[in-house]
Structure 1
Amino acid sequence: MTSLYQHVAVAVDLTDESRYVIDRALPIVQRSGAKLSVVHTLGEVSATYGGDVAVDVDTLRQQLTDHASARLKELAEPYGIGSAQLHILSGQADAAINAFATQHQADLIVVGSHGRTGLALMLGSTSAEVLRNAKCDVLAVKVRGAEQEPVD
């Protein structure tokens, strides 16, 4: 019998809620024996990032990448997730996540969702856009805040 999923991509935003998303994904990975990738997306950095202040875009981009990489490793370490499984993407989050999943043949994307309502729902969130444009299954994990208990 073949496993339902071969490669699970878990998209995190580096907040404490990211642990809850990882907690939800790991049992699926463990049961299926799937490859795991944990991804975080940095938005594009432009010369207008600093407003009226002159900004060295390359230096700023590197600093943001270094910070995100350190935070991603910090999140992954308690789970024993190695650095080869951690990926920093750039661009618009939903497009970058879906592109990663396609390029790396992920067949499940796990993403946190705040379950927004009203105007935020009409405009769409990252998780809604990932779901709308994904070429594979998407599991949207409802996150409410850092007070959530980890999954056993």
Structure 2
Amino acid sequence: MLNIRHILVPIDLREHSQTLAEVALAVANQLGAEKTTFLHALPHLPDLNDYLPDTLARLEAEFRTEGKGKMAAFLDLLKDQAANIDGVVVDGEATEAILAYAREHRVDLIVIATHGAKGIEKILLGSVADRVIKGAPCPTLVFNPFSGTRGYEVCKPLNACIQAV
């Protein structure tokens, strides 16, 4: 039987992060997870050191500070919904950062949202959720905040019942 102790929830700190958090925390509570970690990845800025080297370092520091502030505010909104939650802000491209964190911290489940890109948009921009699913070292639950439904009812053990709600 799969024992879910640590859940990773990648968020972009935009409009649907709160909805994803509610779904992830409901899953965490239902499965009896011991810890839920919200992760926000800050992409690297293009290397412009030939122009203004101090500007790039200053901008990255400002983005990191702003990201950590947003994460703290986000966690503050969730503090009454779950006991053991934390948040991290990491540097790097989203997919690589998520997968590296999941491997390093031995995450048992990733709960991620899809942005609902289709057609040429998906071809040109790709999908972080798709790449995470393909490279994840653990099961991945994908939530579509654009679908109008709240996902699935999840029971423990996972194979006991998975029903659309």
What per-residue deviation string (whole Å, max 9, x for no partner) do you get for residues 83-117 of structure 1? 97110111110011011011001011111102211
Q: CA deviation at 1:55?
A: 5.0
- Amino acid paired to 1:87: V
2:134 counterpart of 1:135: no
1:15 maps to 14
**Counterparts of 2:4 and 2:60 in 1: how far apart (Å)?**
34
Count, aligned residues: 146
TM (norm. structure 1) is: 0.83
Distance in 2 (alpha carbons) for counterparts of 1:53 and 1:85? 36
- 2:38 matched residue in structure 1: 38
Which residue of structure 1 lines up, in the alignment, with residue 101 of structure 2?
Answer: 100
Q: CA RMSD in A?
A: 2.9
Percent pairwise identity: 23
* TM superposition shift of 1:52: 6.4
> Measured at CA, do residues 83 and 44 of structure 1 come closer, stay the same or move farther in structure 2, by a change above 3 Å?
farther
CA distance change for structure 1 residues 84 and 144 in 2, over 3 Å: closer, same or farther? closer
Gaps (5+ residues) in structure 1?
none
List per-residue Cα deviations over 1:5-54 (Å, max 9, x = no partner).
111000000102100110110012112232111100000124439x9666
C-alpha change, 1:36 and 1:84, in structure 2 (3 Å) is closer
Distance 1:31 1:84 in 2: 15
Distance 1:83 1:63 in 2: 28
SS at match of 2:146: coil
Contact residue 11 and residue 39 of structure 1 kept, 8 A:
yes
Give the 5 Å matches for 1:1-150: 4-34=3-33, 35-48=35-48, 55-80=54-79, 85-123=86-124, 124-144=126-146
Q: TM-score, normalised by structure 2?
A: 0.77
Three-state SS of the structure 1 residue aligned to 2:25 is: helix
Tell me, yes or no, if the aligned pair for 1:20 and 1:143 is still in contact at 8 Å: yes
CA distance in 1 between partners of 2:47 and 2:54 (Å): 6
Which structure would you say has the larger RCO, counting Cα contacts within 8 Å and 6 or more residues apart?
A: 1
Structure 1 or 2, whichever has the larger Rg, is 2
